[in-house]
């Protein structure tokens, strides 16, 4: 099915992972090929260089990150360059099978980002990160040619040209607390588009995630609420996509809707079946708060997405030294049934 190999060149380390079962890779949502190069002491002063490349069937991501050592009481710096190419299904995808699946809408996004991350020293249960980056976004069709409009003739960029450019200042704060009785988690992201050049996007976007977990005897109840909104300049691909694994199960990616605002609630009850397996029941619901009509080109309305949806079902969680396997069986509001597979926390060889 595949092969994995670690190569040491001096102090640098190269991890190569190749999986030849493309169909399985797609269903389990992990890359068919990944390459990682790490150097822990690039210039002799403990500078760290990380280069990673993930290549899937229809997407790719290249990330180069450089970290300089600093005192623990000062913000840690990370310079990065990233390029990604992926289908834009959440907003431009076409739903089918009673909204349980989403197909390609013929729009792909090529993104180039260059920036700096500053991670503040963690204080008790709080941590924060500030970043600034330049981002260049180019929509393409399935043949790789640059486009300005989707298959229905509506613009796919904010500028109306073949690309959008922006400088984004981002602040993220996180709170995490966990003990034997439960956990609490809260994160807030605020992004501000800075008008360095008049044609670049100016916007304010925020997103929050709040989670609370409580142990009920042998069972564990986890509830979470996710929301966000964006004001100012906006391209369709910046809309909040609702639906899919990690959002509202029972729907395809973005099949519930896509809007300037969103609100998603998830509740899951897990009960251990043995040392390696848990059984779960869950209920998800999400809404675009009626904001789909405010997205340029109205892609959600044109595709007939409902704007509100719920899904419920049950699943299994398998734990192993290699990673965690998640299987969910979900039913949406249209009584359409969907089976999801997910793999997380894959271990890497050293």
| Higher pLDDT, residue 70 or 335 | 335
**Candidate from 2-16, 46-60, 64-78, 199-213 with smallest mean pLDDT:** 2-16
Backbone φ and ψ of 216, nearest 5°: -120, 85
**Which whole number is the average pLDDT over 283-289?**
98
Q: What is the CATH number of the domain that holds 330?
A: 2.40.160.50
- On whether residue 254 sits in a domain, the answer given is yes
Percent of the chain with pLDDT over 90: 73
For residue 3, pLDDT over 50 is answered with no
For residue 347, pLDDT over 80 is answered with no
- On whether residue 142 sits in a domain, the answer given is yes
Domain count for the chain: 1
For residue 91, pLDDT over 50 is answered with yes
What's the chain's length in residues? 350
- b/e per residue 6-21 (b: at least 16 CB within 10 A): eeeeeeeeebebebee
Closest to 98 measured CA to CA, from 312, 251, 283, 287: 251
- On whether residue 23 sits in a domain, the answer given is no
Could you read off the pLDDT of 226-283 as tens digits, one per residue? 999 999 999 999 999 999 999 999 999 999 999 999 999 999 999 999 989 999 999 9
- On whether residue 11 sits in a domain, the answer given is no
To 10 degrees, the CA torsion angle through 29, 142, 157, 198? 100
For residue 158, pLDDT over 80 is answered with yes
For residue 137, pLDDT over 50 is answered with yes
* pLDDT, mean over the chain: 89
Contact present, 14 and 4 (Cβ < 8 Å) = no
Closest to 311 measured CA to CA, from 269, 258, 267, 263: 267
- On whether residue 246 sits in a domain, the answer given is yes
Expressed as residue numbers, the domain containing 298 is 70-344
Report the pLDDT value the prediction gives residue 198, as an integer from 0 to 100. 85
Which residues share a beta bridge with 326?
317, 342
- b/e per residue 158-191 (b: at least 16 CB within 10 A): bbeeeebbbbbebebbbeeeeeeeeeebbbbbeb
Contact present, 253 and 89 (Cβ < 8 Å) = yes
Could you read off the pLDDT of 312-333 as tens digits, one per residue? 999 999 988 877 889 999 999 9
**Which whole number is the average pLDDT over 78-101?**
95
């Amino acid at each position: 099915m595949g092969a994995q190999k670690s190569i040491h060149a001096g102090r640098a380390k190269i991890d190569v992972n190749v999986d030849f079962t493309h169909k399985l890779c797609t269903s389990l949502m992990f890359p068919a090929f990944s390459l990682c190069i790490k150097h822990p002491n690039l210039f002799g002063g403990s500078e760290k260089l990380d280069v990673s490349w993930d290549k899937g069937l229809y997407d790719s991501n290249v990330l180069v990150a450089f970290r300089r050592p600093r005192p623990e009481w000062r913000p840690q710096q990370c310079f990065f360059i990233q390029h990604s190419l992926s289908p834009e299904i959440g907003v431009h995808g076409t739903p089918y099978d009673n909204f349980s699946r989403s197909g390609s809408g013929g729009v792909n996004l090529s993104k180039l980002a260059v920036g700096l991350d500053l991670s503040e020293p963690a204080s008790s249960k709080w941590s924060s990160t500030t970043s600034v980056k330049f981002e260049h976004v180019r929509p393409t069709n399935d043949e790789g040619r640059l486009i300005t409009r989707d298959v229905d003739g509506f613009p796919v960029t904010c500028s109306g040209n073949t690309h959008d450019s922006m400088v984004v200042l981002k602040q993220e704060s996180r709170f995490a607390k966990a003990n034997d009785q439960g956990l609490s988690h809260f994160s807030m992201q605020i992004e501000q588009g800075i008008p360095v050049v008049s044609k670049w996007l100016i916007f304010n976007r925020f997103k929050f995630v709040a989670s609370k977990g409580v142990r009920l005897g042998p069972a564990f109840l986890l509830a979470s609420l996710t929301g966000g909104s964006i004001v100012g300049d906006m391209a369709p691909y910046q809309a909040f996509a609702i639906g899919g694994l990690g959002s509202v199960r029972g729907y395809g990616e973005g099949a519930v809707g896509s809007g300037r605002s969103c609100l998603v609630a998830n509740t899951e009850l897990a009960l251990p079946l043995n040392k390696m397996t848990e059984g779960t029941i869950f209920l998800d619901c999400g809404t675009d708060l009626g904001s789909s009509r405010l997205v340029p080109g109205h892609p959600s309305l044109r595709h007939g997405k409902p704007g509100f949806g719920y899904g419920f079902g049950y699943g299994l969680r398998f734990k192993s030294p290699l990673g965690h396997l998640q299987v969910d069986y979900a039913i949406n509001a249209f009584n359409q049934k969907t089976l999801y597979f997910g793999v997380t926390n894959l271990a890497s060889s050293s």
